[in-house]
Amino acid sequence: MRNTEDSPNIKPWSAFRFPNFRMLWVSGLCASVTMQIRLLGFGVWLYEETGSGIQLGLLGLVQLAVQMPASLFGGAFADQFDRKKLIAITQCFSFFLIALATILLITDSLKPWHIYAMVAILGVTSTMGGPARSAITANVVPTSHLLHAVTSNTATYQISSILTPLLFSLAYKLVGLPAVFLIGVCFSLPASIIPLFINANYGTDGSDKPSEGSMTSRLWEGFTFVRNHPILPGLYIMDIGVTVVSFYREIMPLIVDKLFKQGAWAIGPLSAANSLGGVCGSFLVLFLAKYRSKGMLVLYATGVYSLLLFGFGSIQFLNVHPLFLLLIGGGIISGLGATDAIGMTTRQTTVQLTTPDHMRGRAVSFHSFCAMAANNIGTFEVGFMSERIGAGNTMLLGGTVSVCVVLLVWRLITGLRNYRYP
């Protein structure tokens, strides 16, 4: 397979022509469902058990503490070892720990510290495997199909994020939380096995170089590459600045309770609305594939996301029926999901297109490092501020800060706003 393959008639689904991408896609789908089940199940159980938004937000700090070093080392491992085996090994931890959580829940032995400990371990393993899963995409499809492959992966994640919360709500309502955990166990098993059957072509861009030196030196080499890159710093700075003040997904139980005045049943539909918007945004990227100003596309998408945060926060001032309020909120959350997907897909593709194969794992890992740090700090920040000034005011504050960040990046990072591909 040649990464230089060129086709004037590439279809949005063309990446699925490649058997190895199909296996990667199925594995990613199962892993995505597993992660969604874990996030929703652990979050709902902890909030029901403690009733505290701060303790729910502490999940973010726990993950942050372990993910910060893990994300960096994950990139170095992805450039040093077989990426498919690294994916399989890290996914095995999800299988065993979710199975353990299921047993503890069924036997009424589950405690908050169990959740925090499992989140910590899974934070390490998922972060170690994440750069390998992202980097290997460029090893199973030609460069000409990379945008479509990344977009397909993003859309798959979003589709699973629609169906999984609905499945969560149904299972939670009809059977209970143990059934939700058991679903996670069932999906985590194929996510662990399928990657072993992928045949990936490493170094297909002609830059395959053996990694030399210590792990620390390889990490420093990756950091130097990213720091001196004309585009990547702008992407990472914007991702951090916006996400820290707006990451609402992992505190959805609190938002549903405080802002929408609904029970746990509403978590599923709102999460699904967010993911539905993400699917639409992902497919929109495919139709924008020939739009050359990729840097400006990221800036536009993030700017609209920032403005939608104002709408999200303004819901609190509406004096309407709670269900109608929920409907309006779902529409805004869909828009947030769409713009986030456009920005995320374009960022991920840009990172891979502007990075040689032997550096790709580390470049992706630094991207993951920034994103995960922002997600986890944002989980705590939004949870904490929601307790102090209210969920609506927190979103208004997030919108204000986000607009400022986008304008600063646009003004200061010329490489980003001038980046064009192809």
What confidence tens digit (pLDDT) does each residue in 273-308 have? 887 888 888 888 878 877 888 889 999 999 999 999
For residues 79 and 291, what is the distance between their CA atoms, to the nearest angstrom? 31
Cα separations in angstroms, 132 against 23, 32, 53, 280: 15, 15, 33, 26
Place of tokens 């929408």: 260
Query: HEC profile for 167-213?
Result: HHHHHHHHCCHHHHHHHHHHHHHHHHHHHHHCCCCCCCCCCCCCCCC
**Per-residue pLDDT at 175 exceeds 50:** yes
Residue-level pLDDT at 211: 53
Residue-level pLDDT at 399: 92
Question: What confidence category does residue 265 fall into, taking pLDDT thresholds of 50, 70 and 90?
Answer: confident
Residues 93-147 have pLDDT tens digits of 999 999 999 999 999 899 999 999 999 999 888 878 888 888 888 888 887 788 8
Domains of the chain, first to last: 15-193+213-417 (1.20.1250.20)
DSSP state for residue 254 in the 8-state scheme: H
Q: By C-alpha distance, which of 252, 274, 250 is closest to 263? A: 252
DSSP state for residue 18 in the 8-state scheme: S
Contact criterion met (CB below 8 Å) for 13 and 152: yes
292: how many CB neighbours lie within 10 A of its CB? 13
Single pTM value for the model = 0.69
For residues 223 and 52, what is the distance between their CA atoms, to the nearest angstrom? 38
